[in-house]
Amino acid sequence: MKLICEKDKILKAINSVTKAVATKTTMPILEGILIQTNDNDVKLTTYDLEIGIEYIVNCEVKEQGSIVVNAIMFSEIIRRLPDSDISISTDDKNLLVIECEGSLYKLATMNPDEFPELPQISIENSIEIEQNYLKEMIRKTIFAVSSEEKRPIFTGCLFEIKNNKLNVVAVDGFRLAWKSKFLQSKTNDFTAVIPGRTLNEINKIILDSYDIVKIGIAKNQALFEMENCKIVTRLLDGEFLNYSSVIPQNWETRIRVDRGLIQECFERVSLISSSSIEKEKKYPVKVNIDIGKVTISCTNQTGDAKEEMYVSTEGKNLEAGFNPKYFLDAFRAIDDQEVFIDFGTSISPCIIRPVEEGGDYIYMVLPIRLKE
């Protein structure tokens, strides 16, 4: 095998595929990158048995071949080479030879025949969406995915196609994030739960562009296809929360507030709430709503904090406790200048929603009981 490639092209491919390299495994082959030439292309593949990524790079191929090389060592060497064309070849001792200007490196290799094949997916349903829209939908929901392995289904995001609209939903038992977008082409209704880890890696690979990504769903696998990159992932088994039935439709108290200003208030109060003196304790913030005013406060052994904002209010006065992190995660995901925050009772969920009718996002936060 021998090929010559521009550094920035091969490095972009390496950065993409290393996201599916196994880190804790008893199979050294899974710690490698499979390098295969095909005419004037080179294909890089990684697979940790949950996520598999293929990336194709156009280059000058002088001799066809395939090899597996340790991903970390290979990527670190390529990253530090001069910004010039790089020659990658194998020698008669089956070492991978990397040459660039005055640099010369030789790496041990592994047998490409031992590298596991990516699953062959028989696609049952698919959608096409612009990469920038998918990127936005992941960014605005992924933070609410659960990290609790006890409930594996909640460690992923629900992708639901209903009435030609894509709904992406994440829930962790304490909060819910929902983002939607109407699709331009007609498609069947279907659902799939995609692991949060996969979506995090996909979000690093896809571009903030109008280029299309095709998402194909099979029985237990999903396939994300872009122009020169393919990502395969397993789907999560189980029944996801019937999210539409748990989002309150009515409210007792509503405020209309500048999202940036209330975010800053929560950020300041959370300095006291997440006390460094008692790291094992997380103190809720108290939210008080009176006519035309909201007060956010917290008291613990570190000190006291209180923020007051004059806002537009409707309905009853209210006092409730919340984890400020859940509000902050939602506020940071919202681009709108103003939002509605709807409350029921002091023990029922709070909803952050757009001011405009028919908005395309909702964030739900469960309260924390305040001690008397």
Query: Domain holding 290: CATH number?
Result: 3.10.150.10
Same domain, 106 and 205: no
Global pTM reads 0.92
Same domain, 165 and 233: yes
Last residue of a domain, one of 114, 144, 159: 114
What total number of domains does the chain contain? 3
* Spatial distance between the Cα atoms of 194 and 61, rounded to a whole number of angstroms: 36
- Condensed to tens digits (0 to 9), the pLDDT of residues 86-128 reads 999 999 999 999 999 999 999 999 999 999 999 999 999 999 9
Same domain, 172 and 268: no
Same domain, 135 and 230: yes
Same domain, 211 and 254: no
Domain assignment of residue 166, given as a range: 125-244
SS3 annotation, the chain: CEEEEEHHHHHHHHHHHHHHCCCCCCCHHHHEEEEEEECCEEEEEEECCCEEEEEEEECEEEECCEEEEEHHHHHHHHHHCCCCEEEEEECCCCCEEEEECCEEEEECEECHHHCCCCCCCCCCEEEEEEHHHHHHHHHCCHHHCCCCCCCHHHHEEEEEEECCEEEEEEECCCEEEEEEEECCCCCCCEEEEEEHHHHHHHHHHCCCCCCEEEEEECCCEEEEECCCEEEEEECCCCCCCCHHHHCCCCCCEEEEEEHHHHHHHHHHHHHHHCCCCCCCCCCCEEEEEECCEEEEEEECCCCEEEEEEECEEEECCEEEEECHHHHHHHHHHCCCCEEEEEECCCCCCEEEEECCCCCCEEEEECCECCCC
Query: What's the rounded mean pLDDT across residues 210-231?
Result: 95
Query: What's the rounded mean pLDDT across residues 339-366?
Result: 95
pLDDT band at 372 (very low <50, low <70, confident <90, very high): low
pLDDT band at 371 (very low <50, low <70, confident <90, very high): confident
146 found inside a domain: yes
Q: Which amino acid is at 351?
A: I
pLDDT band at 78 (very low <50, low <70, confident <90, very high): very high
371 found inside a domain: no
| Res 211 pLDDT > 60 | yes
Could you tell me the two tokens for 364?
């739900």
> What is the overall mean pLDDT for the chain?
94
Last residue of a domain, one of 83, 114, 145: 114
Same domain, 149 and 176: yes
119 found inside a domain: no
Last residue of a domain, one of 89, 114, 139: 114
Same domain, 234 and 272: no
